Every structure is written in structure tokens, then in C-alpha cells.
């Protein structure tokens, strides 16, 4: 397995996508921060497992026993990937959002929560809903961050349970947070720490024991295992005393006419039939990444990320965003705007004319975007009744190569100097579409489409494998 070589690592590498006007191009995936493609190793393992797939925990048949072993074994793979302590509980969830909402529901009464306005909404809104949280303003530097967190934690009365909820790496700027220092600070003040590792886990080694992180959460679909599972791992005590997250089968030990007794962890918070394939795939991704070596992943991504930022800096009219100017520790994520052009239009042109996939909008981090893009381009959100700033985000992962970064920079240069080659229409919801859009969906989504398109897709996938 060679990192940084196209086609060998992820499913769908080399996929051709249609462009407006009838031609096609190799798809350049620069949207890993939203969802990463499956690793080939993950896909292979899932295919080996699928014939054995069955119910877990309840079935007497041999397939059920295999599935139960696969599901329970997945917890060990996750624990090993995160350097978990022996008593850490591993709970499978749907994704990071689900994992953080679960923890929020289990906090002891009167827990004081400290978080920041730099967070993804998934690590902001659950605390607002369940607990009066202190939301610190976006700090100007890591030193300021540590100072304001220390100050907020210092105001919490002694003896009151407290939690610091922070991200491991920003999904907007890619900046990696000083997690070890934040954990030490939290513990010094008698607080616990949850780290939202949705963007950190795919790019950096995580070892919860070193900095003694109390809980971490991440999503399989960002970790090359897009089969619908996520994880909350950490200290069992608060989770063991919380009510079952979902009331129903699997989460109860006994039910009578009078009431119900919840089971122990981890099943207590995994009510209903679990996502066996999702958990198995997530574990396969953890094993595959450990084999590749997270240090090797980080080194290769640093090389490509540096190239991405350097190339963007040379495109006239492109402005990149950073919360802490000059801060060097970043994963391969870059948010930027193109002067005088709507971010939705630029993202649509990149897709329609160049076959490049990026994300645009406010990345579920409205307060941070409002801070970064102060006075910059804005996106209209009909539902919320006011304008929200927006930008474009390019994000990297395994399977990206230098040419991907170079093609993005070249496309942006053409867009800024020459403008689009096609017509586009702005929609009422702020989106932008090619007018007309003559690209056809692949045949499996359109029964009337020609068989050739199916062959095109299968060929591309087989090539990648
Ligand atoms: C930093 C961060 N936290 C949380 C989430 C939420 O992840 P999910 O949508 O998988 O629940 C995301 C998703 O983009 C993220 O980037």
C-alpha cells in the first residue's frame, strides 16, 4: 500500500465524472472532511463479512454467533486505535453528532459545560440543549484559548461536575488544537474533557492515555468506513448512571408491567438492533490505518496540505482563512473565498467544468464562519431569516495526489482570470446550478440510461481495486 499514490488505497479512485458540454474528467475528490471514500481494505473486509451477516446478541444460529463476535470484536479494534484504557467503554453510535448528544444526555445534574464558538454545531448545540454551557468567544491564538478556558473553568464552584468540550481539529481551517494542554488544564480544575475527534481521527494518531482524555467521539464515514457507524469511547461512570439513550430492546435487562431495568454498558446506550456492518467496517478502518501507520498518514498529508495552501496563495483573488495566523499545526483542510465570486457559484463551476469536488457554505460552524469571514461573502439561508457567511473548503485524505491539488489551483486561476465557460443560475435557496445541466446520473440511478454508463463506473472501481 503506497500513500500518495492514486488508485491503490480507496474505492472509486480513478472514477470518471461527466462535465457540462458532454466531456468527462477524472474526479478530483477534495471533500474528505465531509465524508471520506472507503478504504479498499475496508471494502474487502466488509465483502468477506457480508455472507456471515446476521442478528447480533440474540440469535442462536452460527451466523448470529459470527456476527456477534464481529460486533464485539470491533470494540477492541477501536480501543486499540485510540489507545484506550482497559475500563473505557466503547459505544457504537450513528456518528459524532449522535455520540456527543449521548454524552450530553448522561451528564450528572448541574454539570457545568465549557465550550467555544469555534466548534462544529455537533459540539455546540447538544450542550445548549441539555446544560447551561459557557461558549467562549473565538480566541486569537492558542495561548488565548488556554487562558480563556482556564479562566472559565476557574469560575466553576469546587465540587460541581464540569466538562470541557473541544474539537481535536477544526473542520473549517484544519488547525489542530492543543489537546494535551487543554486536558491538563481541565484536570487541574477538576473538570473532564471530551474531544470531538471527527476531523482529527482520520489524520493523526490519537492516544487517550497520554493526555488522559476522558471521552473521544468520531465518525466512521470520515474515517474511510462509510457504513453508518460512529463511536463514543471513554470513562464509564457518567454513562453508566445515565438513562438509556434509546428506550427499547437491547437496552433493558428486564421489563415488567411496573417498569424497566436498563442493562449495563455498552448495550445500555445501544438500544435497538445495532449496525453490525457499520461497526465491523469502522473496526476494519482502524486496523487498516494502524497498519499504514498514522505517523506516515500525517507526514504525507502535511506534504500535500502545505502544497495545497501554497498553491492557493498564488491564485489571484483567493483568500484563505485561518483562526490563528501563522499557526503551523494543521490537517489537510483549507477554507477560502474567491474575491467577487459567490462561493456556491465557484464550487458549482469546479464540479461542472473541471470535475473537482469541494464543499461550500458555512460547514455547520456558523459562529466561526461569522468570525472568519467578517464582511466577506455571505450565503442566504431562507430558514434562519438572515445572512450567514460562506466559503469554499478543500480537504485532503488518503488517495489524493499532488496533481489533485494542482488541478484545483489551475481551475481557480482560470475561473478568476477568465470566468466560467458555461451559464449558471442562482436558486432561491442560495444554490447555483448549470443552465442547462446536461450531465447524466449514472445508470444505476436512472433506468432509462444507457448500459455504457454502468460499465464506465464499474471499470473505474475495478481499476481502483
Ligand atoms: C469537527 C466536526 N465535529 C462533528 C462533526 C459531525 O459529524 P457527523 O456529521 O458525522 O455527526 C463534523 C462533521 O463534519 C465535524 O467536522
Residues 381 and 239 in one domain: no
3-state helix, strand, coil in the chain (%, to 5): 40, 20, 40
Is residue 17 within a helix (H) or strand (E), and if so which, with residue range?
Answer: strand 16-18
Residues 261 and 350 in one domain: no
For residue 382, give the 3-state DSSP assignment. Answer: helix
Candidates 31, 36, 97: which one to mutate for ligand 1, based on the most atoms within 8 Å of Cβ?
Answer: 97
Gap from CA of 308 to ligand 1 centroid (Å): 22
pLDDT at position 131 is 80
Residues 247 and 337 in one domain: no
- Which numbered atom of ligand 1 lies nearest the CA of 171? 16
Gap from CA of 124 to ligand 1 centroid (Å): 11
Supply 110's cell numbers.
448541574
Supply 112's cell numbers.
457545568
The Cα-based distances of 195 to 207, 211, 277, 327 in angstroms read 12, 11, 25, 20
- CATH label of the domain that carries residue 307: 3.90.1150.10
Gap from CA of 405 to ligand 1 centroid (Å): 24
Candidates 174, 364, 395: which one to mutate for ligand 1, based on the most atoms within 8 Å of Cβ?
Answer: 364
Average pLDDT, the chain: 92
Gap from CA of 458 to ligand 1 centroid (Å): 30
CA dihedral over 17, 19, 22, 25, signed as positive or negative: negative
Beta-strand ranges (E) seen in 60-214 are 89-93, 112-116, 133-136, 162-167, 192-196
Supply 227's cell numbers.
457504513
Residues 185 and 54 in one domain: yes
- Which numbered atom of ligand 1 lies nearest the CA of 122? 4
Residues 287 and 360 in one domain: no
Quote the domain boundaries for residue 20.
Answer: 16-30+293-464
Split at pLDDT 50, 70, 90, the class of 7 is: low
Out of 251, 268, 291, pick the residue that ends a domain: 291
Candidates 122, 232, 397: which one to mutate for ligand 1, based on the most atoms within 8 Å of Cβ?
Answer: 122
pLDDT at position 389 is 81
| pLDDT one-digit tens code per residue, 384-417 | 445 568 999 999 999 999 999 999 999 999 999 9
pLDDT at position 339 is 85
Residue nearest to atom 12 of ligand 1 (CA): 198
- Which numbered atom of ligand 1 lies nearest the CA of 169? 1
Split at pLDDT 50, 70, 90, the class of 459 is: very low
- This prediction has a pTM of 0.93
Out of 230, 256, 291, pick the residue that ends a domain: 291
- To the nearest whole percent, how much of the chain has pLDDT over 70? 91
Query: Does the residue 35 lie in any domain?
Result: no
- Which numbered atom of ligand 1 lies nearest the CA of 94? 11
Query: Does the residue 320 lie in any domain?
Result: yes
Catalytic residues: 364
Residue nearest to atom 15 of ligand 1 (CA): 198
- Pocket of ligand 1 from Cβ distances under 6 Å: 95-97, 120, 122-123, 167, 171, 196, 198-199, 219, 221
Residues 271 and 377 in one domain: no
Gap from CA of 97 to ligand 1 centroid (Å): 6
The total of structural domains in the chain comes to 2
Gap from CA of 122 to ligand 1 centroid (Å): 6
Query: Does the residue 274 lie in any domain?
Result: yes
Report how far residue 31's alpha carbon sits from residue 34's, in angstroms, rounded to the nearest whole number.
6
For residue 16, give the 3-state DSSP assignment. Answer: strand
pLDDT at position 380 is 42
| pLDDT one-digit tens code per residue, 71-114 | 999 999 999 999 999 999 999 999 999 999 999 999 999 999 99
Phi then psi dihedrals of residue 109, to 5 deg: -55, 145
Out of 272, 291, 310, pick the residue that ends a domain: 291
Amino acid at each position: 500500500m503506497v500513500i500518495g499514490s492514486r488508485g491503490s488505497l480507496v474505492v472509486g479512485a480513478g472514477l470518471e465524472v461527466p462535465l457540462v458540454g458532454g466531456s468527462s474528467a477524472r474526479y478530483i475528490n477534495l471533500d474528505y472532511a465531509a465524508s471520506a471514500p472507503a478504504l479498499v481494505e475496508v471494502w474487502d473486509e466488509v465483502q468477506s463479512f457480508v455472507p456471515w451477516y446476521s442478528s447480533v446478541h440474540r440469535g442462536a444460529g452460527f451466523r448470529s454467533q459470527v456476527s456477534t463476535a464481529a460486533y464485539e470484536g470491533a470494540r477492541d479494534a477501536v480501543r486499540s486505535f485510540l489507545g484506550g484504557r482497559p475500563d473505557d467503554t466503547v459505544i457504537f453510535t450513528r456518528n459524532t453528532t449522535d455520540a456527543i448528544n449521548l454524552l450530553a444526555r448522561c451528564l450528572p445534574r448541574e454539570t457545568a459545560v465549557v465550550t467555544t464558538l469555534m466548534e462544529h454545531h455537533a459540539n455546540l448545540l447538544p450542550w445548549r440543549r441539555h446544560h447551561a454551557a459557557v461558549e467562549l468567544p473565538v480566541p486569537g491564538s492558542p495561548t488565548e484559548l488556554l487562558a480563556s478556558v482556564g479562566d472559565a473553568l476557574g469560575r466553576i464552584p469546587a465540587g460541581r461536575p464540569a466538562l470541557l468540550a473541544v474539537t481535536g481539529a477544526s473542520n473549517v481551517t484544519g488547525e489542530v488544537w492543543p489537546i494535551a494542554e487543554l486536558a491538563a488544564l481541565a484536570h487541574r480544575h477538576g473538570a473532564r474533557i471530551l474531544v470531538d475527534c471527527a476531523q482529527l481521527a482520520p489524520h493523526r494518531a490519537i492516544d487517550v492515555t497520554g493526555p488522559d482524555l476522558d471521552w473521544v467521539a468520531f465518525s466512521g464515514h470520515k474515517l474511510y468506513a462509510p457504513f453508518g457507524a460512529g463511536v463514543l469511547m471513554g470513562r464509564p461512570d457518567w454513562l453508566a448512571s445515565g438513562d438509556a439513550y434509546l428506550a427499547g430492546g437491547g437496552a433493558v435487562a428486564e421489563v415488567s408491567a411496573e417498569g424497566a431495568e436498563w442493562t449495563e454498558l455498552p448495550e445500555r446506550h445501544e438500544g435497538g438492533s445495532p449496525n453490525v456492518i457499520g461497526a465491523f467496517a469502522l473496526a476494519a478502518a482502524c486496523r487498516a490505518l494502524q497498519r499504514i501507520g498514522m505517523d506516515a498518514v500525517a507526514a504525507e498529508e502535511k506534504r500535500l496540505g502545505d502544497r495545497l495552501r501554497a498553491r492557493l496563495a498564488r491564485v489571484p483573488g483567493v483568500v484563505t482563512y485561518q483562526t490563528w495566523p501563522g499557526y503551523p499545526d494543521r490537517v489537510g483542510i483549507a477554507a477560502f473565498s474567491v474575491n467577487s465570486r459567490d462561493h456556491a457559484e465557484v464550487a458549482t463551476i469546479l464540479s461542472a467544468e473541471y470535475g473537482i469536488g469541494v464543499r461550500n457554505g458555512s460547514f455547520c460552524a456558523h459562529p466561526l464562519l461569522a468570525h472568519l469571514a467578517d464582511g466577506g461573502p455571505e450565503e442566504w439561508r431562507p430558514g434562519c431569516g438572515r445572512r450567514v457567511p460562506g466559503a469554499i473548503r478543500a480537504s485532503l485524505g488518503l488517495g489524493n495526489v499532488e496533481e489533485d491539488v494542482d488541478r484545483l489551483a489551475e481551475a481557480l486561476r482560470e475561473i478568476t482570470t477568465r470566468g466560467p465557460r458555461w451559464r449558471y443560475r442562482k436558486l432561491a435557496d442560495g444554490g447555483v446550478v448549470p443552465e442547462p445541466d446536461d450531465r447524466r446520473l449514472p445508470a444505476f440511478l436512472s433506468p432509462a440510461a444507457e448500459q455504457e454508463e454502468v460499465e464506465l463506473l464499474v471499470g473505474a472501481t475495478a481499476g481502483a481495486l
